[in-house]
Structure 1
Amino acid sequence: MSSPATSAQRNSRSAGHAIVAQLQAQGIQRAYLVPGESFLDVLDGLHESSIEAVVCRQEGGAGFMALAEGRIGPARGALPGVAMVTRGPGAANAMIAVHTAYQDATPMVLFIGLIPMRDRDRESFQEFDPKAWFGSTTKRVWVLDDPDQAPSVVRDACHLAVSGRPGPVVVALPEDVLVQPCTAPPAAPRALPTWSGLDPAPVLHPLASATAPLVVVGGDRISAAGARDLARWAQAWQLPVLSDWRTQDMLDHDSPSWCGFLGYGGSPAAAELLRSADAVLFLGCLNTDVLSSGYTPGADGRWVGVVGTDPDLLGHDGNVDAHLLGGINEFAAAAAAAEVPRQRPWAARTAQARAAQAQFATPRPDGPGWGVDLGALMEDCAQRLPEDAVITYGAGNHALWAQRYLVHHRPGTLVAPRNGAMGVGIPAAVAAGLIHPGRRVLSVAGDGCFLMNAQELAVAAAAGVRLCVLVVDNSQYGTIREHQERHYPGRVSGTGLSNPDFAMYARSFGALGLSAATTSEAIEAVAEAFAYDALSLIHLRVDPDLAGPAAMR
């Protein structure tokens, strides 16, 4: 005869269901997943929950969708994106998104199903060590061996992902633990730090005393109000503002202080602005490798201030003379309320830098080659896109035109990989359409980048996402060929691609698929695609000898 169940056991639920309940308590709205038998009980918990289970076609795509959620979701900065994958091969596929989230400082929680505890260390089917795999590229890896810890582990994982320097966290779930009863009640979400009373004086006074000050902004945490405060402060002080690489949505491009972006594809004038500054404030970002063009314009020898939430300044190169540990939005509000310096000797420098950026961002003919002139096409897209449109792109030469010529007017309108991962653009765009269903989403993809996660168009088609994809087809890995031409002239090898008919591929998903081999055809196709209220794709044929926008060559 079995013993009577205790009160706690009668009121318990499975650990898998407790995980879902805790995610709901945290405010998570979507979980991007590729299902696996290793976490069936979590899937069962999602069945009747308020969390939308977005079923993806490959784990890397699911991870990149979670990356986009953490970057542009409605609770950006306060909640991580969530992805769920299975053990072994599934976890391996998801690794690319975890690395991207780590280097991009974007909050993400990846749940990975594991083999049963009883099968550990026997080289069982799809066994792997999550701490060994992910320990060097996450903030922490948990293995849930105690079902009663399910609520607290999920709570702590969500908090850790967004606190301090944001980043990815992994929670590994043994299959047999998930079905065991969890008697622990749901855990109250942990409060994020508050930065009220932040005194901006330690960084404002050195800027006001400089002759060539500069503000560099970055990260994902600025709010709409914070962006307005930043613009108001910079304009009142007549300060030049540059953005970190692929964070061009931090400041309205119509602001008289917007002077461009740093990093790959940025203007020489922006790099010179950083090099010649005698006081630099890094706001939400740091003096890192790509931003500084390989650490060449070193920070030593001038005043450097940092405002951000990372006490360790991971990745920063050079000296730091003032470090304010606090939120970018709170700082921007305090700075906007500060007294404006009577003397602003740098005002002319700001105006000149702004003019240089405007000239840099004005499309010029790409050259005498054949095919679509991407500069002219981006100019047309920029005029058609509404202010709240979300733009995504991955890694490759195709992104040079998008990041240079497309404009941003508010935060949360750009998702692009700062670690240079290919394949981000399409899943990020699909997630953007799910997160903001009423907004236009444009993804600019290279032919190589597109096919790395093109299968996620199935998710967009099924959900009716309002997405337009531009596939730039130069039939090669263009960035690598450019490096080959520079270092091994005349010896192009291993970079050519044989491509399908991308428009036909899109039509196979039920999307509007169009093709263009000339600029006029491309502009007509964009007009048709933007008038179409669902998934569309335009196959753009371009000259393979076209390495980048004309003024860059």
Structure 2
Amino acid sequence: MAADRLLATLRAHGVDRVFCVPGESFLPVLDRLAGAGIDLVTCRHEGGAAFMALADAKLTGTPGVVLVNRGPGATNAAIAVHSADLDATGLLLIVGDVRTAERGRRSFQELDHQAAFAGMSRGVFTVGHPRHVAEFTARALAAARGGVPGPAVLVVPEDVLAEPVPPSVGGAPVVTEPARPPAGAVDRTLALLTGSERPVLVAGGRLDSPQGRRALREAARRHRLPVLVTNKRQDLFDNTDPLYAGHLNLATPPRQRDLIGRSDLVLAVGTRLDAVSTQRYTLPDPATALVHVYPDATVPGGAYQPRLAYACSPTAFLEQLAAAPPRAPADDGWLRQLAGHEAEQARWHPVTASDGVVFGQVVAALGELTSGRGTVTVDAGNFTSWVHRYHRVADGGRLLGIGSSAMGFGVPAGVAAALRRPGEPTVVFVGDGGFLMTGTELATAVRYRARVVIVVADNGSYGTIRQHQERAYPGRVAGTDLTNPDFALLAHAYGALGLTIGTDAEVEPVLSKALAHRGPVVVHVRTSLAHISAYQHLAGLRRTR
């Protein structure tokens, strides 16, 4: 039947796992999955399932696949489609649709998927005939891979999936490779580098592959270039390397921004130079020479006017740069300033608070216990500033987050990572607000015995919004106070191990116990609200108003 063709095509394109919340509109696919050689992970909400697929894609380099029902199922998953678009990460959303004859008649749960998803996807592909299932599946996967990956949506009516069609093995995937650097590109770049006294290499998401990381490391070392990584891309470069100069995120401190602003050459490779990484388009300075390398020719020349711009493979560009003669010896004072400031910022100095544990202590302790290896996933919120500041991602470690800063990514992503990399520790950092959005996927972790440690920063507040409130309306709190459950007891109710950190003395022993556990763990950290971020204190915000 047509469902077999869909699954054969997925398998031929390297898909070995799909995530879903079961729906009646794709029952034939569920029925045939058992013998298709594809692992099925059943989730508790379509948003969680789609976030799991997105995280899986980040780890494998293959588009993550999520199966959802029409209408409510598809719209629940839209949050991950939007995030995949912003992150340029391959994601295939397969939607079981209403029957062909019912289209356009406001049928039960009917949705215009083209209108809903066209603006945030690489394409919406609607199958009209059973014989076209393999063709449209392959086209959707090709769009999701693309020269610049992203989300694609495949809509298949439920009657189409059950129709008999001749067997098919699924065609070979289309091999896509961004263009090689044009002749002379590296020579022209090297000429600028040689004349530069304060260069920086800004590395972005299109280097997110083993080859990309290797090329980045070798080019940076060859030419003694300080490396900055873009928002939520902290794992592109070993954070313990002497060339590591920091992470451009929502909480980049002013001193670091000032130092970066003094650069005379920015080599931006594999990044769009988005609003967060450029600190709302204030970095680099317009007078700074910019070399921009990105596979999509429509990206360079947007908010910035580069001196040199190349629409080509960022990895191939850095490989060629790494093979070029090293630039003329330069004074390492600039490098020492950038890397030295970053190293000092990352050094934890114990701080105590009367209203809970300062979350930086938890992050620093976990970094020591894991040595920066394994996989860390981060949700969205002010607590992440502690993670980005004090968690050092070592070579081979991974840190997964999403540039959209949508709440709810952390727990599903951690479950997906634990299933994909079961032999390594997986740690989730999530706030009390984010956990109660998708924390029900703890049930998925328990079902599949995922070895994941979920660290919940509970300060009883939507901290990011509270910080903005204190800046704009000091001392006036509206809508940001939260009443939370006991997260450790909640974990026990799900069948997971629940632990609590309420004092500084409990941090290391509790975390050690959590990391040694062979199944899912929730660590409830009663954390300080006064120390609202790694760089801000509530009292200080009110004083500077």
Q: Is 1:479–2:464 an aligned residue pair?
A: yes
Instruction: Check whether the contact 1:216–1:282 (CA below 8 A) recurs between aligned residues.
Output: yes
Give the one of 177, 182, 191 matched to 1:193.
177
Query: Aligned partners of 2:190, 2:134: CA distance in 1, in Å?
Result: 43
Map of 1:413 onto structure 2: 398
- Is the contact made by 2:300 and 2:309 (CA closer than 8 Å) also made in structure 1? no
CA distance, structure 2, for counterparts of residue 41 and residue 352 of structure 1: 61
Q: What stretches of structure 1 move > 6 A for 4+ residues in a row?
A: none
Once the two structures are superposed, the pairs formed by residues 211-230 of structure 1 within 5 Å of their partners are 211-219=197-205, 221-230=207-216
Counterpart residue type for residue 516 of structure 1: I
Show the counterpart of 2:13: 26
Q: Show the counterpart of 2:41.
A: 54
CA offset at residue 181 of structure 1? 3.0
TM superposition shift of 1:273 = 3.6
Instruction: Tell me, yes or no, if the aligned pair for 1:71 and 1:412 is still in contact at 8 Å.
Output: no
CA contact (8 A) 2:206 2:271 kept: no
Cα contact 1:224–1:410 (8 A) shared by 2: no
Contact 1:227 1:411 in 2 (8 A): no
Instruction: State the distance in 2 between where 1:57 and 1:368 align.
Output: 37
Q: For residues 353-388 of structure 1, give each alpha carbon's deviation from its aligned partner in whole angstroms, at most 9, with x where no partner exists.
A: 100001111123445433112222211111111454
Q: What secondary structure is seen at the aligned counterpart in 2 of 1:181?
A: coil
Q: Contact 2:180–2:313 at 8 Å: present in 1 too?
A: no
Whether the 8 Å CA contact 2:206–2:314 is kept in 1: the answer is no
Match of 2:543 in 1: none
How much does 1:270 deviate?
3.3
The amino acid of 1:492's aligned partner reads V
Contact kept, 8 Å, 2:454 with 2:523, in 1: the verdict is yes
- The amino acid across from 1:482 in the alignment is Q
Question: 2:340 maps to what in 1?
Answer: 355
Deviations along 1:31-66, one digit per CA (max 9) or x if unpaired, are: 011110011112122121111011010000011001
Q: In the alignment, residue 241 of structure 1 is paired with which amino acid?
A: V
The counterpart of 2:126, out of the listed 111, 129, 143, is 143
Alignment pair present for 1:255 and 2:241: yes
Aligned with residue 373 of structure 1, among 341, 358, 362: 358
| 2:539 equivalent to 1:520 | no
Q: Secondary structure at the residue paired with 2:119?
A: coil
Residue aligning to 1:6 = none
TM (norm. structure 1) is 0.93
Q: In structure 2, do the counterparts of structure 1 residues 282 and 411 end up closer, same or farther at CA, with 3 Å as the change threshold?
A: farther
CA distance in 1, matches of 2:56, 2:301: 24
- Unpaired stretches in structure 1, ≥5 consecutive residues: 1-13
Partner of 2:438: 453
* Structure 1 residues 197 and 313: alpha-carbon distance in aligned structure 2, compared to 1, 3 A threshold: closer
Q: Which residue of 2 aligns with 1:37?
A: 24
**Aligned residues with identical type, % of pairs:** 36
Counterpart for residue 112 of structure 1 = 95
3-state DSSP of counterpart to 2:310 = strand
Structure 1 segment 214-363 matched on structure 2, within 5 A: 214-219=200-205, 221-297=207-283, 300-313=286-299, 316-345=302-331, 347-363=332-348
Q: Deviations over 1:80-123 (max 9, x none)?
A: 11111001111111011111111111110100111111111221
Matched to 1:88, the amino acid is G
Give runs of aligned pairs for residues 37-116 of structure 1, distance below 5 A: 37-73=24-60, 76=61, 79-116=62-99
The alignment of Structure 1 onto Structure 2 pairs a total of residues equal to 535
Amino acid at match of 1:377: V
Give the whole-Å Cα distance in 2 for the aligned partners of 1:408 and 1:451. 27
Deviates more, 1:36-45 or 1:262-271: 262-271
CA distance in 2, matches of 1:37, 1:162: 28
- Does the 8 Å CA contact 2:85/2:121 hold for their aligned counterparts? yes
From 359, 382, 388, the counterpart of 1:403: 388
Letter in 2 for 1:139: R
Q: CA deviation at 1:205?
A: 2.5
- Change beyond 3 A, Cα 1:503–1:315: farther
CA contact (8 A) 2:266 2:284 kept: no
CA–CA distance in structure 1, aligned partners of residues 437 and 117 of structure 2: 22
Give the superposition deviation at 1:399: 1.0
Question: Could you list the runs of 5+ residues in structure 2 that have no partner in the other structure?
Answer: 541-545
For 1:11, the equivalent position in structure 2 comes to none
- Spell out, residue by residue over 1:237-274, the C-alpha distance to the aligned partner (whole angstroms, 9 max, x if none): 22111000110101011211101011211233432243
AA of the residue aligned to 1:116:
R
Q: Does 1:529 align with 2:514?
A: yes
SS of equivalent residue, structure 2 residue 205:
coil
Structure 1 residues 316 and 434: CA distance shift in structure 2, 3 A: farther
Is the 2:124–2:154 Cα contact (8 Å) retained in structure 1? yes
In structure 2, distance between residues paired with 1:33 and 1:197: 40
Kept in 1, the 8 Å contact 2:92–2:154? The answer is: yes
Q: What's the counterpart of residue 437 of structure 1?
A: 422
Output the CA distance in 2 between the equivalents of 1:434 and 1:196. Answer: 35
Deviates more, 1:135-144 or 1:262-271: 262-271
Looking at structure 2, the residues matched to 412 and 148 of structure 1 have their Cα atoms a distance apart, in angstroms, of 44
Q: Distance in 2 between matches of 1:93 and 1:349?
A: 48
Separation (CA, whole Å) in 2 of partners of 1:246 and 1:515: 28
Greater mean deviation of Cα atoms: 162-171 or 54-63 = 162-171
What SS does structure 2 have at the residue aligned with 1:380? helix
Relative to structure 1, the CA distance from residue 106 to residue 280 in structure 2 (aligned partners, 3 Å threshold; closer, same or farther) is same
SS at match of 2:494: coil
- Report the alpha carbon displacement of residue 316 of structure 1 after superposing the two structures with TM: 4.6
Distance 1:180 1:515 in 2: 53
Q: In the alignment, does 2:188 pair up with 1:205?
A: no
Deviation, 1:550, is 5.0
- Cα offset, 1:194, TM superposition: 6.0
Deviation at 1:174, TM superposition (A): 1.0
Structure 1 residue 233: deviation in Å?
Answer: 2.3
**Structure 2 letter corresponding to 1:464:** R
- The two structures, once aligned, show a CA RMSD in angstroms of 1.9
Distance verdict in 2 for CA 1:221–1:49, change over 3 Å: farther
Q: Deviations over 1:218-241 (max 9, x none)?
A: 105433343233223212322111
- After superposition, the Cα gap between the structure-2 partners of 1:118 and 1:491, relative to the gap in structure 1 and judged at 3 Å, is same
Query: 1:287·1:299 contact (CA, 8 Å) conserved in 2?
Result: no
Question: CA–CA distance in 2 between the matches of 1:109 and 1:491?
Answer: 44
Pick from 404, 407, 416 the counterpart of residue 422 of structure 1: 407
Check 1:321–1:197 CA distance in 2 against 1; reply closer, same or farther (3 A cut): closer
